[in-house]
Structure 1
Amino acid sequence: MPKTPPLPKVIVLSTAGVSRSSIAHVPFLLKILYGWLIAQPLRDKLGMERLIYHCAGWEWNTEVDGEPGEEIMGSKEWRDTEGLPAPGTLKDAIVLRAAGLTDGDCLADKRKEGEKIPYRAGEGHVIGWTVSRKDVAHFIEDAVLNRWSEYGNKQIGIAY
């Protein structure tokens, strides 16, 4: 009997402050920026997160975070969209909420033997202003190859 290949791991890159419950964990000045300047991209990311939560079968706090609008999801009945995976069918996913992304160096690669990784990553919210794209890539590689049991199937925050 042929062996069924494993399903892929899915990692989506979102941002801190994308939902109502996460905006409380963003530095004050960023709250102003997020609420005004980048409000539309945040709605898109909220829609992306909502789809992952649905397909993974994770609990979404509709009372606090609401639902993305029809302009993002297509209709109020988006869960009935033909071809949309059933809740719980996505078995390996991470929603990664990064602080403000920079083009800086990968500080994790520059650390000396035994030094702590310079970014903070953990389940839920991690408060911070920035993190470099290269350190986010470092985290993703480490999470997928070495620490899936710790980070897989969770919403993770990352920041300096």
Structure 2
Amino acid sequence: MFSINNNPRNSKIQKVKLQVPGDVKYELHSTYNLLLKEGYQVLSVLNIKNGGIIVYRHLYEDTNLYEENSIVLKIRLITNKGTVFPEPYLYAHYISARTTIDLADIFIEEPIRNLGLGSILMKHLLQIAVDSQVDKVTGLMVSDDSQHKAKQINFYTKHGFEISGNRLLWKQST
């Protein structure tokens, strides 16, 4: 499922060796505890073929979760070959007195695109929107070409967004 090129000349993806070679379960447990110790909010741990995924939220020092305006979600992808870096991430922030979340960026390196990682990040963002009772999630689509734009349209409509030009809108169900 996860075929990741480890040649730095062809890819920006790097893999860091597991602490215990081949022991994904140990790596997931160790990483989970480390993220908590460092103050991150672990949102979910998912098992995948030959590995696991930890979805976590970056929280800024000395900021209460309910006062935090930035939403930085990351995926720690751990395979039996190693931990993948850079980590896929989603960046958004609250606007309009926390009634709206504005989606700023979803970043996933090319070799690990189209594996469902963007959908995992988006599902967690939309759950945060529901949990924090925001009215809507907005954003802009920025495309390099028509093929990329078609993929973006499919991605956002799949997650319940309305698209008008390059503007995105997801509304809370009432």
TM-score (structure 2 length as normaliser): 0.23
| The structure with more strand, counted as a fraction of residues | 2
- TM-score w.r.t. the length of structure 1 is 0.24
Q: Which one has the bigger helix percentage?
A: 1
